């Protein structure tokens, strides 16, 4: 099993603006291209043009239609990749030590030469951020393009994750969350950057910047499209569940 560092010198990660992301998948394509051509085993595609295509991706985009009462539906695009958690369960469950978290920058990586493809890390990740490459039999995940950000052989402006470099809308930002003066720290503070599923206790580094309130034509006011999903499902339970709770309390 692999132990996690007590602390890291930096906390490199992404701030993703859900208000700007248009779901174009440019980040997905560039991520696939870069990580197939460089670091680690290629990201395979199997039966790509057949009836049951299967591929390995480090970054995916999910699109949802959000509908609030009294207003028109809106579309939200949600990018998903490794969040490089401070308390990463994928690291501590690895039986070979292949998964590890770097002390110098907090990036979570997989040493593919030690990976046996058991899948325990994927099972332990609450965000579904790891994918087994069927062709290679090893676990794949976002590396924050570690082979780009420290690469002195490419121009300075390219020393960032491929997904950030290619985003045409400027929805993705890369930086050090340990530095309060960094671009990602300031953006997160100004826009109320959200920690994904904080109840899991994994302390993800990446932050999501929520969509800004949109004008509601019906009420001539503003609405928060994420409010229905962040609020409690029901403050007071009714019906059978309420009766059952009262009955159990009386025992």
pLDDT digits (tens, 9 = 90+) for 26-84: 999 999 999 998 777 889 998 888 998 889 999 999 999 887 666 677 888 999 999 99
The CATH topology of domain 12-250 is Alpha-Beta Plaits (3.30.70)
pLDDT at 72: 72
What pTM does this model have?
Answer: 0.82
Pick the closest to residue 15 from 216, 183, 153 (CA basis): 183
- Which residues of the chain have a pLDDT value below 70? 1, 68-71, 213-251
pLDDT at 232: 46
Long-range pairs for 199-203: beta carbons < 8 A, 24 or more residues apart: 200/126, 201/87, 202/83, 202/85, 202/86, 202/87, 202/88, 202/89, 202/126, 203/85, 203/86, 203/87
pLDDT at 40: 77
- The full set of domain ranges for the chain reads 12-250
Could you report the per-residue pLDDT of 121-130, keeping only the tens digit for each?
A: 999 999 999 9
């Amino acid at each position: 099993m692999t132990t996690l560092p007590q602390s890291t010198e930096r906390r490199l990660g992404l701030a993703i603006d859900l208000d700007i992301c248009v779901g174009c998948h440019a980040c997905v394509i560039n991520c696939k291209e870069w990580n197939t051509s460089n670091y680690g085993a290629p990201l395979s595609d199997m039966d790509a043009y057949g009836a049951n295509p299967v591929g390995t991706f480090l970054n995916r985009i999910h699109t949802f239609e959000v509908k609030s009462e009294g207003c028109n539906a809106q579309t939200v695009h949600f990018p998903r990749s490794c969040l490089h958690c401070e308390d990463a369960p994928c690291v501590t469950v690895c039986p070979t030590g292949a998964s590890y978290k770097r002390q110098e920058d907090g990036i979570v990586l997989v040493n593919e030469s030690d990976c046996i493809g058991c899948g325990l890390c994927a099972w332990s990740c609450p965000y579904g951020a790891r994918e087994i490459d069927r062709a290679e039999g090893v676990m794949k995940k976002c590396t924050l393009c570690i082979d780009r950000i420290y690469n002195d052989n490419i121009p300075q402006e390219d020393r960032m994750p491929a997904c950030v470099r290619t985003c045409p809308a400027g929805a993705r930002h890369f930086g050090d969350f340990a530095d309060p003066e960094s671009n990602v720290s300031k953006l997160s503070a100004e826009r109320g950057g959200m920690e994904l599923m904080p109840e899991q206790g994994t302390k993800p580094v990446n932050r999501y910047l929520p969509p800004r309130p949109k004008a509601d034509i019906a009420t001539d006011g503003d609405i928060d499209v994420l409010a229905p999903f962040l609020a409690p499902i029901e403050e007071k339970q009714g019906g059978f569940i309420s009766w059952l709770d009262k009955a159990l309390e009386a025992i």
